[in-house]
Amino acid sequence: MALRHAILAALTNGDASGYDLAKAFDITVANYWSATPQQLYRELDKMLEAGLVVARTVEQEKRPNKRMYSLTEEGTAALHRFTTSDPKPIAIRDELLVQVEAMERGDLDAVRTHIQQKLAASETKLKRYEKTREHLLEGRSEASYLANERSIGSYLTLARGITFETENIRWCEFVLTTLAARESRNAADRTDPGHTLAPRSNVHRGQPRGER
Amino acid sequence: MALRHAILAALTNGDASGYDLAKAFDITVANYWSATPQQLYRELDKMLEAGLVVARTVEQEKRPNKRMYSLTEEGTAALHRFTTSDPKPIAIRDELLVQVEAMERGDLDAVRTHIQQKLAASETKLKRYEKTREHLLEGRSEASYLANERSIGSYLTLARGITFETENIRWCEFVLTTLAARESRNAADRTDPGHTLAPRSNVHRGQPRGER
DNA sequence: ATATTCATGTAACAAGTTACATGATTAG
DNA sequence: CTAATCATGTAACTTGTTACATGAATAT
């Protein structure tokens, strides 16, 4: 029942086809909700039956027909009710972190590679988010946008996604630096056992804790 | 099959009962993997059958008996293999963010309350993480711990959890401040229509972007 | 007195994942 | 000419969630 509300929320930004939603769930929505296209198609069918959305088929030349879904009054009401209910705590599933937890019993080089890949993926994602942000702002400052824009929900969730990916990138760099330092220490130990590296980072690179 | 690896990883930090794991999954592991106690009990049974863990019953006075699970060689090997496989991208499900996305079509006051509750919950969680961190460090500096400690996987995942909750707190404060500013602007509009607030925040309070 | 902690489990149901299928169009 | 995009769907299977059940001990 929770995917349902994520879909309803996505549809407040305009009508969409299942395919459109799949893209959105891959891009912006991915910050806070994951779903595969199959889940979306199945859920949209159920939502149709429940009267939360209506569908119209749009005939396209040169493209397969598509079904565009719109919120109904019932759908809008269901969404309103949802904002009233206590949200469940966040659920995260991150295999990379499981691998890092098990790093020492596993294949360190493989994990390092996975972290490098995550770093690259996060950088790509962050760039896309920044573009979306520029697009929303249309040249205005954040302050002016937030003060004057009618609807700021999407901007606020995007802002969370931006800091999330920024921190992912930092963390990946922090881990890679730490592992590299341990490697070179081990190399040094083998040739020059008296040597140790100078201290390097404190609490994950300038993380501004204790500021609040 | 992925919960399985999270359990195996958790067991590298020592033998545990289902109940112990449930606590761990509620505290530290929660940063990167969610599972209910029921899932754990069920999965542990399957892992026993598969020979990835062994169980012994510990008879306790004044407490119900418990089953303590330990990694077998097969379990350790399975975990090693897992670190070799490409991790699936992170999956997040956050109802609060869905509510924020739908804020304007929903009950703004209710959403504000939910954000305040999240803020409080994140502060509690962060304090617990910081305690765990102090406990791991045992008075050493982070640099010295990371350079010398045999196993640093747990510290690294904890570090990610700490920044995650730190950013959650910031984001909640940012949203609450933004909403308050909009409220007072609306109030001012009703009594003193010429007035606007001075600009307030830029990109989510001093987020250090563009630094990399 | 009452709530929380300790400790495990069953059963029913809801949700998520994976594999497969189709088929035209356009970008590189 | 190959890969990606557009666009939807079925079916089988694996996971995750929720409700219920038990029952003593300890902390408030």
The model's pLDDT over B124-169, given as tens digits with 9 standing for 90+, comes to 999 999 999 999 999 999 999 999 999 999 999 999 999 999 999 9
Q: Where are the alpha helices (DSSP H) in A28-152?
A: 37-49, 73-84, 95-101, 108-137, 142-148
Are B95 and A2 an interchain contact pair (Cβ–Cβ within 8 Å)? yes
Are A153 and B199 an interchain contact pair (Cβ–Cβ within 8 Å)? no
Assess whether pLDDT exceeds 60 at residue B208: no
Nucleotide with smallest C1' distance to residue A39 CA: C16
CB B17 within 8 A of CB B77: no
- Strand residue runs (E) in chain B: 16-17, 53-58, 66-71, 91-93
CATH number at residue A23: 1.10.10.10
The continuous run of DSSP H or E covering A69 comes out as strand A66-71
Q: Any residues with CB less than 8 A from the CB of A179 and at least 6 apart, and which? A: A108, A112
Chains A, B: CB contacts under 8 A, how many?
A: 286
Instruction: Calculate mean pLDDT across residues A7-26.
Output: 95
Same domain assignment for residues B182 and B119 = yes
Domain final residue, candidates B62, B84, B106: B84
Residue A63 beta carbon within 7 A of nucleic strand D: yes
Asked if the structure places residue B175 within a domain, the reply is yes
pLDDT number for residue A201: 42
pLDDT number for residue A190: 63
- Among B139, B96, B132, which residue's Cα sits nearest to residue B23? B132
Taking contacts as CB-CB distances below 8 angstroms, the residues of chain A near B163 are 167, 170-171, 204, 207
CB A50 within 8 A of CB A13: no
Interface test with chain B among A43, A86, A105, A176, by most B beta carbons within 10 Å: A105
Same domain assignment for residues B105 and B144 = yes
Domain final residue, candidates A82, A117, A137: A82
CA distances from B123 to A203, B7, B116 (A): 18, 27, 11
Asked if the structure places residue B203 within a domain, the reply is no
Beta-bridged to residue A17, according to DSSP, are: A68
Asked if the structure places residue B34 within a domain, the reply is yes
Distance between CA B28 and CA A104 in Å, rounded?
A: 18
Interface test with chain B among A100, A117, A172, by most B beta carbons within 10 Å: A100
Asked if the structure places residue B32 within a domain, the reply is yes
pLDDT number for residue A192: 57
Burial class (CB in 10 A: 0-12, 13-18, 19+), B128: middle
* Number of domain units in chain A: 2
Instruction: Give B 123-182 residues with CB within 8 A of chain A.
Output: 141-144, 146-147, 150-154, 156-157, 159-160, 162-164, 166-167, 169-171, 173-175, 178, 181-182
Same domain assignment for residues A77 and A112 = no
- Domain holding B110, by residue range, is 95-194
Q: What is the mean pLDDT of chain B?
A: 89
Same domain assignment for residues B78 and B107 = no
Same domain assignment for residues B114 and B63 = no
Asked if the structure places residue B113 within a domain, the reply is yes
Assess whether pLDDT exceeds 90 at residue A140: yes
Residue A70 beta carbon within 7 A of nucleic strand D: no
Same domain assignment for residues B46 and B121 = no
CB B12 within 8 A of CB A102: yes
Assess whether pLDDT exceeds 80 at residue B47: yes
Same domain assignment for residues B134 and B63 = no
Span B79-130, pLDDT tens digits: 999 999 999 999 999 999 999 999 999 999 999 999 999 999 999 999 999 9
Domain final residue, candidates B33, B52, B84: B84
Span B196-207, pLDDT tens digits: 434 444 445 544
Asked if the structure places residue A52 within a domain, the reply is yes
Asked if the structure places residue B205 within a domain, the reply is no
Same domain assignment for residues A70 and A33 = yes
Are A102 and B181 an interchain contact pair (Cβ–Cβ within 8 Å)? no
pLDDT number for residue A200: 40
CB A159 within 8 A of CB A116: no
Question: Rg of chain A's alpha carbons, rounded to an integer?
Answer: 23
Same domain assignment for residues B103 and B189 = yes
Assess whether pLDDT exceeds 50 at residue A85: yes
Same domain assignment for residues A118 and A181 = yes
Distance between CA A39 and CA A45 in Å, rounded?
A: 10
What's the pTM value of the predicted model, to 2 decimals? 0.89
- Among A172, A162, A155, A157, which residue's Cα sits nearest to residue A126? A162
CB B76 within 8 A of CB A106: no
Span A176-198, pLDDT tens digits: 999 999 988 777 666 655 444 34
Instruction: Calculate mean pLDDT across residues A85-91.
Output: 94
Asked if the structure places residue A53 within a domain, the reply is yes
Distance between CA B171 and CA B165 in Å, rounded?
A: 10
Residue nearest to nucleotide D23 (CA to C1'): B64
C-beta neighbour count of A138 within 10 angstroms: 8
Same domain assignment for residues A14 and A106 = no
Span A49-70, pLDDT tens digits: 999 999 999 988 778 889 999 9
The verdict on B62 touching A (C-beta cutoff 8 Å) is no
CB A172 within 8 A of CB A121: no
Same domain assignment for residues A99 and A43 = no
